[in-house]
Amino acid sequence: MVAEDSDLLVFQEEDEEEKKETDRNGSWKIMIVDDEEDVHKMTKMALNTVSFAGKNLEFISAYTAREARELLKSNTDIALVLLDVVMETDDAGLKLVLYIREEQENQIVRIILRTGQPGSAPEKKVIVDYDINDYKAKTELTSQKMFTSVISSLRSYSTITELVERERSEQEMKKAKEVAEKATKLKNEFVNLVAHDLKHPFASILGFLELILDDKECPIPPKHAEFLGIVKKSSESLITMIDKLLDLGRMSTGEVAVFKEHLDGHELTSAVVGRLRQMASKKGIEIVNEVKSEKLYVDRELFGSVVHNLTSNAIKFSKSDSRVIIYNPETMPATIAVKDAGTGINERILPNLFKQEVKTTTKGTAGERGTGLGLPYCKKIMDAHGGSLTVKTTHGEGTVFYATLPEAKVEAQIQVQQPDRLSS
C-alpha cells in the first residue's frame, strides 16, 4: 500500500504461498549502474518486495560503466538498466547506452537514465540522440515514480520478449519446413528414379512370361507352367507397386497437374466396373453401379483411378457371393461411395490408412496381396481436387469409402483441351 503523506512505498508482506510461487517463476534482472552506494541501497529498499507477473526482482549492482560492461556480457537476460549518467566520466552513462544498443545490438533491454546533474545531459537532447526508454532526475524520482517506471519498463520488456520469441519460433518452424520439403523432394526424386529404372526390366520379364505361358506350339509342362504363373503374378504385383510409387512421387512434387472437366458420374463409374468385372466374377462378387447420371467436375484419369482403387479394394476384401455397391449417398452431395460387405478394417490400422509412410496393407479374403500405396495415392488425388476421402467401417461387416468433391459451379462448365500427361 502507498501512504498518502509519504514518498516512500510500503508494500504488504507476501504470504508464504505467493513467495513460493514467485520463486518458482524466476525473476526479473534489474541492473543498477551508479557510483553512489546510497543510490543502490535506496533503490533496493524501495523495490525489494515488488513483484510483477509472478516474478520477483533480482538486483545486479555496478559502480562504473566499465564494470557494467563486463556484467552485461555475462548476463544477457537483463530486463532493465537503471543508469546514472555521470560516473567515472561526465558521459560514462551515455557511452554505456551506445555500447548496449550498438556493440551488443541489444534492443530489448529497457534503459532508464537517472542523473543528479541534469545540466550535464539535457533531457531533450538525450531523449533524441540516445535510444533510452525514460529519463529521470534523481531529485524527482520518488519511490512511487520509481515503482511506476520500473513496472512500465518490465511490462514493455515482457511484451517485446514475447514478440521476439514468437518471431524466432516462426522462423525456426519455417526453416524446419523448408528442410523437410527439401528432404521430401530429394526422396521423391530418388524413388522416381529407382522406380522408373525398375519398371522397364520388369515389364520385359512379364512380357516374355506371357509369351511362354501362351505359346500353344511349344507348351511347357503343367508343373513348370504353375511356377511361371506364380512368377508372373509376382511381376505384376511389382509393376503395380512401381506404378503407385511413381504416381505418389509425382503427386507429392506437383508434376501431375489436375485437369478438370464436367463428366457424367454414371459413365465414369461404369467404365471402372467394366474393367473390374472379371476380377469380381472370379470371386463370385457382383458389382452394382447405382451412381446417377449427374455431372462431376473432375480429372477423368485421376478420379477414375480413385474409383478403380476403391472398387478393387472392395473386391479384394469382400467375401464370395457378396456385392460391391457404388452409389451416391443421399446426404452427401458430389460424393461417390464404394460399399462392401467384407471383413472391415482393423481399428489398429485405421488412423494410418491414408499415410504414405505407414504400411497398412493386409491380405484379401482370397489371400490377395497389395502394395499399401493405393489409399495414400487416392487421398492425394482427392486433396488435389479440393475434396476429401473418408471411411466408415465395422470389423467383420464391411466398409464404405466416400470420395467427396467440392460442388461444381455452373459458370465453371468450360471444356478445355488437356495437355499430355508425363509418361512413366
3-state secondary structure of 203: helix
Helix 222-253 vs helix 143-214: angle between axes, to the nearest 10 degrees?
150
> What was the pLDDT predicted at 209?
85
Do 248 and 190 touch, CB atoms closer than 8 A?
Answer: no
Instruction: Give the residues across from 391 on adjacent strands.
Output: 401
DSSP 8-state class, residue 321: T
CA distance 211 to 88: 99
> What was the pLDDT predicted at 403?
96
CA distance 1 to 53: 18
Identify the sign of the CA torsion 114, 116, 122, 123: positive
The structural domains of the chain, ordered by start, are 19-141 (3.40.50.2300), 259-412 (3.30.565.10)
Which cell goes with 382? 482427392
Which cell goes with 294? 449427374
> What was the pLDDT predicted at 336?
96
Residue 388 carries which side chain, given as an amino acid letter? S
Secondary structure (DSSP) of 78-122: EEEEEEES-SSSTTHHHHHHHIIIIIS---SSEEEEEES-GGGS-
| Mean pLDDT per 10-residue interval, the chain, length 424 residues | 37 48 74 94 91 93 95 94 91 93 93 78 77 85 87 94 91 87 74 67 80 86 85 74 65 68 94 87 92 91 88 88 93 93 83 68 59 74 91 89 81 44 40
CA distance 89 to 129: 18
